[in-house]
Structure 1
Amino acid sequence: MRNIDPFAEEMAELGPELNWPPYNDAPHRDQPRRCTTGNSQLTQTEKLPLFPPLPPAEPYPVEALGPILADAAAVIARKVQVPDAIAAQSVLSAASLAAQAHADVLLPYGQSRPLSIYIVTIASSGDRKSTADNEALWPIRRREETLHLYFKQEFQGWLVTHAAWTAEKRRIEADRKLGFENRKIALAALGPEPETPLRPVLTSAEPTFEGLVKSWSDTPAALGVFTSEGGQFTGGHAMSAENRLRTAAGFSVLWDGQPVTRMRALDGVTILRGRRLAMHLMIQPGAAAEFLADPVLRDQGLLSRVLVAAPDSIAGTRRYRRPVAEDEVFLRAYHARILALLEAPWPLSGDRAKGLQPRPLRMIEAAEDLWRDFYDRIEERCAPNGDLRPVRDFAAKAAEHAARIAGVLTVIADERAVDIDPETIRRALRLTSWYVEEVVRLHRSCRPDPALLRAQALLDWLGSRNEAETKFSAILQLGPGPTRTKKEAEAAIDVLKVHGWVAESSQRPRTIRLIPGGSSIA
């Protein structure tokens, strides 16, 4: 039975759809956490699970996405046979990309925030996350195809215009009959260099932040980082040890909606205003653990800006289903709505460098009251004895996440809207509450601990060999990728020894013995 939240009755008065259950802490109160990673001197004869029990994921509140998005997520989940959370994450991120150019949300304390949402979906290979994302991103791919056709036509015209402009500029500069003032007049009459047409790009799978900034003056002002292979991004050049802090800081600035300023010796000064960036990284559990447990990313604040979902796999239950014709009606309605937002005129400044000038979305008074109550309840749960204390970095931004989601849902319903109504805020708060509890669930299970995941991978590999003993050299040569260095292999072995899963049979040659029986995950 769940504990009773002291604020549950108050929140219930706001409406049953607000969905305010606190995290169930009862199963863990009388048990020590089992997150030892090898430095402890704990000695026990019994086998200890590498991970504490992971409670099942709570059902994703799909209906809170509103008519268009909820119907699309439900159809994608049925059609592709994925958990609701995977389909919902794909749909919500696509909606953010389409909506972010049109408006910002005005928070009750006076500051505005973009409708850009950063999303991370954790799912294993074979869970069909790529297929679900393809369904959700169809209108974005369609818009990119159209932009490509426009670009081909415009680029040919630009080549001719630019060649003529360049030739005329050279003629004016070389004309010895012109004095200083007359040359100035002639160059002013010629006008500025023709701008290149915008490149037909709305999304990128793994950009570096420097590359993004350098190319953004020639691409649309609202973009997305979308990839179904998020490990390529989190493990790529942008997130390498020397670039991780710079990348995290840059993406955090974009999430905040602040101008991007760069001063480089070769490129000079670059100032980009009015840019918006949505993000959806679909990552396998191992790569996700490294990403979510990275202290640099947590201290910098990028992880607190990310909405994470790690739904339980439904593999093994996905028997073939015939497509339902009625479902395509809902999917086409979603595609049409997202495409319409992408095709609608964006509020752009006349100066390309100034980018977008989105209008503000204000919460009406009743909606603001709901948002403020949510803000206060989250803050109280972040107190020293509160259940959100361990994840207070994310919890501190929960109210802002809710405001962004509410803004996206508002624009999806009506791109001309200027107010956020109470019902939309209720639905956004319900969604945000789910994300808060999901972060708590993952934190308490230690699933984001990369040391434990490496130990689990090694244990699985040892068990698959059907051999009583394994040489340390074999682990380095043939073991799982994350344990093929001496440092990581020794750390993983230490974890398994502390938890009672292996023992050392000999030192020369160093040999590891797998203790039979039991299960590594409770």
Structure 2
Amino acid sequence: MNVEITFSAPFAISTDPVTGHKTEFHSLNELIQGCIDERNFKVKTESYIHPEYTDYNCEECYAIPHVNPHNFSEVVGYTISGTIKKYDTDQSPYQLIDSKKVYFVIGEKGVFASNINKAYIPYVLGTDDIGLFLKIARSSEGVVFNEDIDSAYQIINSGMPETTFRAMAGFNEPKQNQDLFVKLDESFKSLQAKQIKQFFLEKINALKQAISPEKFIQISTNQWGKLIPLVHAESSANAAYPVDALPPLAKEAVIAISEHVQAPISMTSQCVIATMSHIAQAKVNAPHPFSPQGEPCSLFLLTEGQSGSRKSTSRNLADQAIIKHERKHYEAYRCELEQWKSAQAGLPKKEREAYCAENPPPNDPSTLYSDITLESIAGLYIDGILNNASIASDEAGQFFGGHSMKADTRNQALGGYAKLFDEGFVERTRSKSNMNGSGRAYDTRLSFSLQGQHEVLADALKDPVLRGQGFLPRFILTIPENLAGTRLQDAAYRNKNVSTDHRLIAYWTRCEYLLDDCPQIKPEYELHNGRYVLSMNDGAREIDAAFYNIFEELQAKGQRYEFLQAFASRASQLARRLATVFAYFEGLQCIDAKILKGACEVIKYSLNEWSMYADIEIKAESEAERLVKWLIGKCVQQKTDRLTYSYMQTSCPRPMQKNKNLLEMIIQQLEDSNYLKVEILNKKRLVVLNPLLLGESD
């Protein structure tokens, strides 16, 4: 990783020709993050970074990294090579009006190299073909380019440690060191990344065998890298709920409820966020990367809590303004209903039917439900009775075990809830004999606030269907600490009065103001069915992009969220929604960097909580520990540091012995954690243990 060096003058500038928005990059890392696709060695879309042709788009040009010739781990610049294009942006779609072949450097010139800054590199290749360089680099192999292949070898020979095997690869043989050359032919160009890695493993091992043993230096233990613990520390214990991320009024209310109720901060935080989500979803939309109308800001929240953990009391205090608002409207509804009934009382049948046709009964204005099926709430949406609603229940087990979530109907229910969450859309199609109630409803909103006991929730939260279909990954989760046994009450506590607590009064007053039927909006906002989009400012957009990229990378094989991809892939979306709710509650005109950063902290916290329920991840880690112990035992017994892969595969502990995919996944994890390496010798795969595990020294 490069040391972040920031320059006062811009390192590079990209100016959008449509909006005129100028982005200045004051460090190479900023440029890489904003404009360089490092995996594919290409320039990202909408990058206008040519120093002279500033209105030409450089996207899809090759971006070839330069490294410091004295420190190969430091990237110092990029050569941009390819065709840049200029478009007439006044036409729709844009029309190409000019293009130019370019070759320019951003940053400093150095050595063309890639993938040579890893903790352990078994070998590095030199090549004189730029096409081969890019293909080999994309397969994650260490490679250096120079127009002269002998010079390429001299670069890696002098720049890489002796413990890294150095070789050359190309179509034309070098003048020197032919015994370190891998000759390629046209068939190499058709190989995929995994095939390239396997190809070079075999070729490099063949070169090693051809070299006399005294010339080849064995790898020492300090080239393995530090052993990485197999159990993630952040998953082993509850982290503190990031209550500071909430808007000030909401944060003070969270703390006040926690003090009065003697409930965990994480539980009262979820309750307050659920209240804010219920209010905000009726008035605003969250920004969406591809839709000017945005997306619902509704949130799904889930809290695990033992019986007696004060779930109901916490929720009632958080929802007090909503409860009063609902009650006032419900009482008005009851009066209207009684008047409607009285108006038709005593009328003959035909007149009563005519009266009812002209004067339909008033609708129940309730929007907060504790127990309602998807079928029922869909009917209310489709009939136009309801546009915004929340399902808030202290008995989540009833929801997960209810009729809609039974095996024969839950797939349909899960799809319905997903549509409501993502698009605010619901439809219901009944049989021809019962068409009443069929139809569609758009721009509807639904929030969830479910609370339940571990014994009830555990099976549901590990259910592969609920996870795989994306229902659970939409929830923000907390697993609060159990305060039982610590909730002692002294005289000072008993003298507290929740109804006079200024923190709660301020919070409830804000909620009442936002619940007012008159929309509190500025004239410049464009309304979409009564809602407007809270956009992000430039600072928030930068954080959003960085947050997305971080969690995208962490879903890769061997990374933190490899087994939680469905959850991690929604991190950015949930953060934008939560930030929208925060910004609306605080009365901001847009989502700023501070608000979005706080929302990101809450989502990171939730993902950590979900990882505690990631049964496959925990299982993989425990199986990894079992496999390491087995490998150490067998190597000690056979007085070796390696075993054949086939022997391990047929003799290792179950279930790995019977599950090839599980075994390969665990082997990859152990490789990434520096416990072992898989090498090929004479076409046989070997599992080589880190000498540190066998008590050896360097």
> TM-score, normalised on structure 1?
0.67
Change (3 A) 1:213 1:304: same
What is residue 603 of structure 2 aligned with on the other side?
A: 432
CA distance in 2: counterparts of 1:6 and 1:60, whole angstroms: 31
Tell me the CA shift for residue 162 of structure 1.
Answer: 7.7
Give % identity: 26
In the alignment, structure 1 residue 130 sits paired with structure 2 residue 312: yes
Change (3 A) 1:346 1:238: farther
What is residue 147 of structure 1 aligned with on the other side?
A: 329
CA distance in 2: counterparts of 1:58 and 1:156, whole angstroms: 53
What is the SS of the residue equivalent to 1:344? coil
- After TM superposition, the structure 1 = structure 2 runs for residues 481-520 of structure 1, keeping only pairs within 5 Å, are none
Q: Is the Cα contact below 8 Å between 2:301 and 2:449 reproduced in 1?
A: yes
CA distance in 2: counterparts of 1:148 and 1:166, whole angstroms: 29
Deviations 1:455-507 (A, max 9, x none): xxxxxxxxxxxxxxxxxxxxxxxxxxxxxxxxxxxxxxxxxxxxxxxxxxxxx
CA distance in 2: counterparts of 1:366 and 1:397, whole angstroms: 21
What is residue 55 of structure 1 aligned with on the other side?
A: 236
In the alignment, structure 1 residue 87 sits paired with structure 2 residue 268: yes
Deviations 1:71-118 (A, max 9, x none): 111111111111110010111011100111001012234362111000
Compare the two structures and name the one with the higher strand fraction: 2
Tell me the CA shift for residue 53 of structure 1.
Answer: 11
Aligned amino acid, residue 372 of structure 2? P
In the alignment, structure 1 residue 246 sits paired with structure 2 residue 412: yes
In the alignment, structure 1 residue 224 sits paired with structure 2 residue 390: yes
Of 531, 547, 562, 1:358 maps to 531
Tell me the CA shift for residue 55 of structure 1.
Answer: 2.2
Deviations 1:320-372 (A, max 9, x none): 1415459711111111222222233369xxxxxxx953111111122111111
What is residue 441 of structure 1 aligned with on the other side?
A: 612
Aligned amino acid, residue 254 of structure 2? A
Aligned amino acid, residue 198 of structure 1? N
Of 539, 551, 574, 1:401 maps to 574
CA distance in 1: counterparts of 2:611 and 2:353, whole angstroms: 65
Deviations 1:270-307 (A, max 9, x none): 21122111111101112211211112212211011111
- After TM superposition, the structure 1 = structure 2 runs for residues 208-287 of structure 1, keeping only pairs within 5 Å, are 208-216=373-381, 217=383, 219-265=385-431, 266-268=434-436, 269-287=438-456
What is residue 464 of structure 2 aligned with on the other side?
A: 295
CA distance in 2: counterparts of 1:257 and 1:357, whole angstroms: 16
Tell me the CA shift for residue 194 of structure 1.
Answer: 3.8
Compare the two structures and name the one with the higher helix fraction: 1
In the alignment, structure 1 residue 420 sits paired with structure 2 residue 588: no
Q: Is the Cα contact below 8 Å between 2:234 and 2:608 reproduced in 1?
A: no
CA distance in 2: counterparts of 1:129 and 1:28, whole angstroms: 39
Deviations 1:215-262 (A, max 9, x none): 333643111000011111111112112121111111111111342121
Unaligned 5+ runs, structure 2: 7-26, 31-225, 521-527, 621-698
CA distance in 2: counterparts of 1:194 and 1:97, whole angstroms: 31
Aligned amino acid, residue 310 of structure 1? I
Aligned amino acid, residue 401 of structure 2? G
Aligned amino acid, residue 374 of structure 2? F
CA distance in 2: counterparts of 1:420 and 1:77, whole angstroms: 28
Change (3 A) 1:275 1:66: same
Matched positions, count: 386
What is residue 362 of structure 2 aligned with on the other side?
A: 197
> TM-score, normalised on structure 2?
0.51
What is the SS of the residue equivalent to 2:236? coil
Unaligned 5+ runs, structure 1: 14-25, 34-51, 172-189, 348-354, 450-522
Change (3 A) 1:240 1:448: farther
Deviations 1:374-422 (A, max 9, x none): 11111111111221111110110100100001100111112xx542122
Higher RCO (CA < 8 A, seq sep 6+): 1
Question: Larger Rg: 1 or 2?
Answer: 2
Q: Is the Cα contact below 8 Å between 2:247 and 2:585 reproduced in 1?
A: no
Tell me the CA shift for residue 155 of structure 1.
Answer: 2.2
Q: Is the Cα contact below 8 Å between 1:346 and 1:356 reproduced in 2?
A: no
Of 119, 122, 126, 2:301 maps to 119
Change (3 A) 1:27 1:134: farther
Tell me the CA shift for residue 447 of structure 1.
Answer: 8.7
What is residue 313 of structure 1 aligned with on the other side?
A: 482
What is the SS of the residue equivalent to 2:285? strand
